[in-house]
Amino acid sequence: MGSGWWISDYLNNPNINGQVWVVSWAVWVVFSICLHELAHGWTAIKLGDDTPRLAGHMTWNPLVHMGPYSLLMFVFIGIAWGAMPVNPNKLRGRYADAIVSLAGPLMNLSLAIISLICLMLWGPLSQGHLISSVTIPDPLATNLQTFFHLGAMLNIVLMLFNLLPVPPLDGGRILMDVMPSYRRMMQSENGRWIALGVFVIFFVFAGSLIFDVAGFIVSSISIFFWAIFFPNM
């Protein structure tokens, strides 16, 4: 049984290299959230809103994007969140707010694709299937494979989670911008309770499911790729 603290559970798991998992997860969480928020900021600035720059959020400092409470939550349960100040009234374009909101999940999708490509190529490279004269021994070979796998999985999780159609998540902001009736409902008192209910239901009943789905996607794609192009691995 796990201790209940994610870091301890990883470190005490005999089936994995706990230190590599903890370090990899920490790097990817901080890096992915920062890039997610910066994608919102870059897009908002491009569409006429200089609030991200004026607020001092166009930085790589994770404390600015995540804040102390988010980082503290990460230490305790392994998940965190970020924020990027945007003023929709300054944005140019009919669906500018939706575009700014979509930029974050698209960044996570891009990071997932890059990580997945690295994962698919790293295995054959480390075993000498890409360049016969080049082999990479353990622990580096296995450690980097873990790093790329976690990067792809985490960013799929972040993309799917942020696209849930409830505010203040990106999916909710997108729907509120393109569907005025949905915006009116979500801004009503009942709508706020609906949004809260979706959050509770997700975390109680589907929180682990999204991780399982992301892990299945990464494993299935990489195994299929190796089976097609490197059947002797």
Active site residues: 37
Give the Cα-Cα-Cα angle 93, 40, 71 (nearest 5 degrees): 155
Name the one residue in this structure whose structure tokens are 């190796």: 226
DSSP one-letter code for 78? S
In whole angstroms, what is the distance from residue 116 CA to residue 214 CA? 12
3-state SS assignment for residue 213: helix
Amino acid at 49: D
In whole angstroms, what is the distance from residue 108 CA to residue 142 CA? 24
Q: At what angle do helices 96-126 and 140-162 cross, to 10 degrees?
A: 160
Name the one residue in this structure whose structure tokens are 């000498």: 128
Question: Within 10 A of 19 (CB to CB), how many other CB atoms are there?
Answer: 12
